Copies of this chain bind each other. A is one copy, B any other.
């Protein structure tokens, strides 16, 4: 049993356009064709595409994903560069998680202000300070006046 491009689109969430685009970009060299030129996806192809989605969803560029896929096509002789590539990318993912976690704190700090019963007063006070800072530097403030 093989799958059509439409099946794979439904299974992976990638549009048919995107799948053909990825193929054009050399990301799907493992996908075989029928005699008449129609793509025939196997189970193992789907699992490779899921790996591609994993790398893409963690921010790897398509040209780097292509490199990784090219290594996998070469078989067991390319284990060392593959390991290197994934180890580097692993660090990129960890850094992203850390940065998101940091930024989440900042968002939560803002939400704490907005959720405070004194939110209005705090914000008004902030604007007063900002306008004071502008005034000291002889600058017009674009913030709405605090009544």
Q: Give chain A's interface residues, CB within 8 Å of chain B.
A: 1-2, 29-30, 32-34, 40, 42-44, 51, 54, 57-58, 73-77, 79, 82-83, 86-87, 89-90, 93-94, 96-97, 99-101, 103-104, 106-108, 110-111, 114-115, 119-120, 123-124, 127, 129-130, 133-134, 137, 139-146
Tell me if B144 and A73 are in contact (CB < 8 A): yes
The count of identical subunits is 2
Provide the main secondary structure of the chain A interface.
helix
Residues of the B chain whose Cβ atoms lie less than 8 Å from the Cβ of A90 = 104, 107-108, 111
Residues of the B chain whose Cβ atoms lie less than 8 Å from the Cβ of A87 = 111
Contacts A54-B107, A94-B104; A79 near B140 (Cβ below 8 A): no
Tell me if A139 and B40 are in contact (CB < 8 A): yes
How far is it, in angstroms, between the C-alpha of A1 and the C-alpha of B115 when the chains are bound? 33
How far is it, in angstroms, between the C-alpha of A124 and the C-alpha of B141 when the chains are bound? 68
